[in-house]
Amino acid sequence: MSSEPVKRCTVDEILELRWRVLRPGRPIESARYEQDVLPETRHWAYRDAEARVVGCVTVQRTPFPGADGPGWQLRGMAVDEDLQGMGIGGDVLVSAVREVAEPIWCNARERAIPFYASHGWTIVSEMFDIPDVGPHKRMVWSP
């Protein structure tokens, strides 16, 4: 792996990975978020030694649901299936939240809740269903 594997990037650099990991079996356009192209939206990619994108995440300006004022939402957290559980996702997550350095929220898939919790995120909702994706809990992180 390169010495600085996590870097800011464009959505086009990570869309294929996001699609493959998070929206398998659906059209690639289903992996795009409306906010992907807004100027404040930020994307990060983790590249392996061959410069292939194997990890990604996106942070966009979206208020915490039910709250007024600005907020940041983390979305599209994904690691190549063959490389999960090796610390890549943790590196991506830590790089993103350090750079944003403000409170962030996300809808965490049930299976990924322990991953976020191990990086200091807190559960702030009951389990709820996102159609076609599955059960989630809302989680928050603060610097």
Q: Determine, following the binding rule CB under 6 A, whether residue 121 of this chain makes contact with ligand COA.
A: no
Residue 118 vs 142, nearer CB to ligand COA: 118
Q: Determine, following the binding rule CB under 6 A, whether residue 109 of this chain makes contact with ligand COA.
A: yes
Q: Determine, following the binding rule CB under 6 A, whether residue 105 of this chain makes contact with ligand COA.
A: no
Tell me which residue of 17, 19, 46 sits closest to 30, measured CA to CA. Answer: 19
Place of tokens 């990060």: 44
Q: Which of residues 8-37 bind ligand COA (CB under 6 A)?
A: 21-22
**List 35, 84, 120, 125, residue binding ligand COA (CB under 6 A):** 84
Residue 9 vs 22, nearer CB to ligand COA: 22
Least distance from ligand COA to the Cβ atom of residue 69, Å: 24
Residues contacting residue 51 through CB under 8 Å, at least 6 positions apart: none
Residue 41 vs 137, nearer CB to ligand COA: 137
Return residues touching ligand COA (CB under 6 A). Answer: 21-22, 77-79, 84-90, 108-109, 111-112, 114-115
